[in-house]
Structure formats: C-alpha cells, structure tokens
Amino acid sequence: MSNPTNQTEVTEFIILGFPSLPELQVLLFIIFLVIYILTIIANLTIITLVKIDTHLHTPMYFFLSNLSFLEMGYVSTTVPKMLEGFISVNNVISLLGCIIQAYIFAVLGASESFFLALMAYDRYMAICNPLHYTTVMNHTTCVQLVVGAWFGGFIAASLPCVLVARLRFCGPNFIDHFLCEAGPLIKLACSDTFLSELILSVSATTTTLASLLFTMGTYVCIISTILRIPSGTGRKKAFSTCASHLIVVTIFYTTVFVMYVRPSGDDPFKNKVVAVFYGIVTPFLNPFIYSLRNKDVKEAFKKVLRKNRAFPKNTGAVSVIH
C-alpha cells in the first residue's frame, strides 16, 4: 500500500456506464426511459387499485402494494443516473452521492427479499391454516410485518455501507458500472478493505439465504397441502393464488444468485447486464406478472375503466370480458 500522505483523496467518481456500446447510446437511452416510465405507471396503478378497491383490502395485496412502492424506489435510484450517462460526456457523482445511492440500493434489495418472504408466509397461512388466517393476519400484524421488513432492510445494509463510507479513495475514480454499489466501490479504495469485504459478504449471504430458505420452506408446505386437496378444481384454485408470487420469487432469486454466487464476478460487462436485469427489468416485469396472472387485479382494473366510461356499462362486450 502506498503512503497515504502522498495521495489525494477522491471526492467524486465518474460512472462509466456502457462505454463499449457507443453506437447504441441513444437507443439505450430511449429503451431505458420507456422502461422507467412504464415501471412507474404500472406500479402506481397497482398501488392505486389496492387503495380504491375494497376487494383488494387483504394482506396479500397490502404486501403487494408495498412491494410496488419498493420497485419504484429501485428504478428511481438507478435509472435517472443511468440515463444521464447515455447523454453526457462524463457522468459524475460525488462521493457522498455515490455512498447514498449504494446504501439505498442495498436497502431496497434486502427489503425486497424480506417482502417476498412475507408474501410467502401470507400464502402459507391462507392455504395451510385457513381457519386461523383472518385472526393471525389482521391489520395490526400486517403493518408490523411491513415495518419489520423495511427495518430489516435498513439494518442489513447499514453496517456494510458505513464501513464502505469510512474507506479512503485515492484514485482512480472511474466506476466501471452504471450505478454505485458497495462491491465496485470497495475495489477502488486505497485503505484496508478486508473488514468491509467480509461484512458485505456475510450480510448479503445471510440476508439472501435466510429469506430464500424461509420462502422455500413455506412453499414446500404450501405445495404439500395443495397436493392433498382431493378436488382437481380446488388444487388449481389454491395454486393460482400463489402462482404469480412464485414466478416473482424465481426471477428475483435467480438473478441474485447469478450476480453474487457465480464463480467469477470480475467481468464488468456481465455484472452490468445482470444488474440491469435484477435492478431494472425485474421491477418492470413484476407488476405485469401480478396483473396478468391475477384475476382480482384484472377485475379491479376493469371496474376502474368502466367507471370512467372506458367500457359501456351494459353491452355484450362486458359479458365477454367476464
């Protein structure tokens, strides 16, 4: 390690983005701008439907609306700065701004894993313990669980990001990514990073594995219960209530696994592609997965359209939709 007295500390970073695709910068700007706008609109739509439709005032949709809020935070943390990088010569961010972005992104990632676990628990109670569902999953309990999920995300991300913020950065100041994350920042530090890397690894692994194992355990119980239902129609109905969530869980943990558990994470371009998928594409897909595969959400959306005269009230078209 070089003598720190001869080093000038970095106060800002340049986010490189996708410099290997110079001819596609304008096209990528348009694509990600459209994805960002649609993600915000789709998640806002779900939040609004859950708010105004009394049929959606259930624990499952309460958790879903919180997840939609989280997804909007995900894309709003990363995409605006990415879009700036597509149209600017140097996409500069201050050291403090970089630390804040990395922290918010980490909080949202950890909170999402907890929310997916909560939604799995909700489905477990609804399918495996239906007689106790309304008693256990009351409004007070649901609020406490949501607060716990957000608080858990803050706790899981706090110590790693505090340790990263205490590191010294002496240059270079180029982040070969489209956002600030703890991992790429640690690689640029000129002070000892052993503790930061250790805590980051332990925190990410513990949070991910704990929530994943809990979610998998609940689904083992859920599937076991569904298979014991004598009626084929009953089995299909029970499984349909958790199919959307199971798809979202699969997408989320697959991308997280590819990002953090694959043998080699030293390819910057592959890291960016994977980060785009779990940080931008997944929040874009989730509301469509829930709305397209969820009868209650689709019905709520149709009610809003009919109420605003988008559909005639008494025509054959309405009966066809139903």
Domain with residue 226: its CATH number is: 1.20.1070.10
The answer to whether residue 289 sits within a structural domain is: yes
- pLDDT, tens only, 241-254: 788 888 888 888 88
The rounded radius of gyration (Å) of the Cα atoms in the chain is 22
Is it the case that residue 6 has pLDDT exceeding 60?
no
What does residue 312 show for φ and ψ, rounded to 5 degrees? -65, 150
Look up the pTM and report it: 0.86
The number of folded domains in the chain is 1
With CA atoms as reference, report the closest residue to 18 among 29, 8, 33, 10.
29
Residue 152 included in any domain: yes
Q: Is the confidence at residue 156, as pLDDT, over 60?
A: yes
Does the residue 295 lie in any domain?
yes
Residue 318 has pLDDT above 50, yes or no: no
In this model, does residue 305 exceed pLDDT 80?
A: no
Predicted local confidence at residue 229, as pLDDT: 84
The type of residue at 220 is V
* Per-residue pLDDT, 8: 65
Report the alpha-carbon distance of residue 269 to residue 274 in Å, rounded.
Answer: 9
- Dihedral sign (CA 161, 167, 168, 171): negative
Mean pLDDT for all residues in the chain: 84
Give residue 296's pLDDT: 76
pLDDT of 5 strictly over 90: no
| Residue 309 covered by a domain | yes
The count of other CB atoms within 10 Å of the CB of residue 91 is 19
* 3 inside domain: no
Cα dihedral angle (120, 125, 128, 134), rounded to 10 degrees?
-150
Domain assignment of residue 161, given as a range: 8-321
Asked if residue 1 belongs to a domain, the reply is no
Report which DSSP code applies to 189.
B
Tell me, yes or no, whether 2 lies in a domain.
Answer: no
Q: What is the pLDDT of residues 56-67, one digit of tens each?
A: 899 989 999 999
Is 27 within a domain? yes
